[in-house]
Amino acid sequence: MTMIIRDFRPSDAEAAAASYSAGRPHLLMTPEAVRHLVTSATPEQHYRLLVGELDGVVVGSGRVGVHAFSSTKGQGFANLSVNPEARGRGVATAMLAVAEQHLAEHGVTLIRAWVDDEPTAVAFAEKHGFERGRSAHFAHLDLTAGLPPVPELPAGVELRTAADYLEDPRPLYRVDVEGTQDEPGDVDMSDLGYEEWLEEVWERPDLDRELTTVVVADGRPVAFSAVHSDGATRYWSAFTTTVAAYRGRGLAKLAKTDSLHRALARGCTDAYTNNDATNAPMLAVNDWLGYRRCASEWAYAKGI
């Protein structure tokens, strides 16, 4: 058996996307998005997409980089995936070693990783010195089973889509940044600038602007439900948020419900989402929509 850990090549996109979701059908990643994640990363992120080969076949991938847009410096990430049939053969261990060396060289002192709530994955993380933190849950919605109706629009509120902001998406950037500031999680993104947001978020090839619903009140966007899709039947809730001054009015629920109705009308059949276990308001919205938990993951961290 010959093992090679190397950097991603554009020709690896399909295999890298497949390894990301192998054994995890609740995750969505397209080859185009894989390429974009590599090419859109800024120099400060020191992003590397590692691939693991066994006998010339790509069987795993590792997304590694620095949390450059966080106000807390010295943090990095290493999220590894190995195809189920290739696990237990040292690929993840070898990728992790390369990742740790790379991050240490760029000033990282704390590595964060998301780990599937599955015995083998958890054992691997803890064997390599990672300690468990917060949890998050994935949920699935069968769109063909029916959806609750879109809530009535409050006075002065209208619904648009992200496609209406192609000429100037800055209003959506403002909603995104404000919503991210108090999103439950270990890493803030308060230093994410507009140009970086354009490159990394707005220009992602799997961002579905027609399915991303924007709530407008008092003449400006105040909430949205951003969507990634595979262009066929699968729908992923990338981020749903409301600016602080407009919370408590059901606008996130309105945005997400409208977006799902758009997806159903276009032929999507399966919707997936992920939420921090402490995000009670959004978990309640998802329960009302009919989402049912299908998997969980743990945030792990390791000092280096």
Domain holding 16: CATH number? 3.40.630.30
Q: What total number of domains does the chain contain? A: 2
In terms of domains, do 73 and 153 share one?
Answer: no
| Residue 86 region by backbone torsions, left for phi larger than 0, else alpha for psi between -120 and 50, else beta | alpha
Residues 233 and 276 occupy one common structural domain: yes
Residue at 83 is within a domain: yes
Q: How confident is the model at residue 185 (pLDDT cuts 50, 70, 90)?
A: confident
Residue 123 has pLDDT above 90, yes or no: yes
Give a yes or no: residue 243 inside a domain: yes
Domain presence at residue 123: no
- Same domain for 265 and 195: yes
Residue 124 lies in a domain: no
| pLDDT of 184 strictly over 90 | no
Range of the domain at 55: 3-108
Residue 228 belongs to some domain of the structure:
yes
Residues 165, 289, single domain; the answer is yes
Same domain, 208 and 99: no
Position 183 scores a pLDDT of: 74
Quote the pLDDT of residue 180. Answer: 79
Predicted confidence at residue 181, as pLDDT, reads: 77
User: Does the residue 64 lie in any domain?
Assistant: yes
pLDDT band at 211 (very low <50, low <70, confident <90, very high): very high
Averaged pLDDT for residues 121-138: 98
| Cα–Cα distance for residue pair 62/20, rounded to 1 Å | 9
In a domain, 130, yes or no: no
| Residue after which a domain boundary falls, among 108, 132, 167 | 108
Q: In what order do the strands lie in the sheet with 270-276?
A: 3-7, 48-54, 57-66, 75-82, 110-116, 292-303, 131-142, 270-276, 234-242, 220-229, 213-217, 157-161
20 and 80 Cβ atoms separated by less than 8 Å: no
Query: What is the rounded CA–CA span in Å between residue 301 and residue 217?
Result: 40
Residue 287 lies in a domain: yes
Is a pLDDT exceeding 80 seen at residue 98? Answer: yes
227 Cβ contact partners less than 8 Å away, ≥ 6 residues apart: 207, 208, 211, 212, 235, 236, 237, 238, 259, 263
Share of the chain above pLDDT 90, in %: 94
Is the pLDDT confidence value at 274 over 90? yes
DSSP codes joined into one string, 45-68: GT-EEEEEEETTEEEEEEEEEE-T
Same domain, 227 and 272: yes
- The 10s digit of each residue's pLDDT in 1-13 is 899 999 999 999 9
Under the banding of pLDDT at 50, 70 and 90, the label for residue 88 is very high
Whether residue 163 sits in one domain with residue 272: yes
Is the same domain home to 54 and 187?
Answer: no
Give the lowest-confidence range in 97-111, 186-200, 231-245, 262-276. 186-200
Same domain, 266 and 181: yes
Question: How confident is the model at residue 189, as a pLDDT?
Answer: 78
Q: What is the pLDDT of residue 186?
A: 86
For 65-85, write each residue's pLDDT tens digit: 999 999 899 999 999 999 999
Residue 189 sits in the same domain as residue 283? yes
| Strands, E assignment, the chain | 3-7, 48-54, 57-66, 75-82, 110-116, 131-142, 157-161, 213-217, 220-229, 234-242, 270-276, 292-303
Residues 245 and 145 in one domain: yes
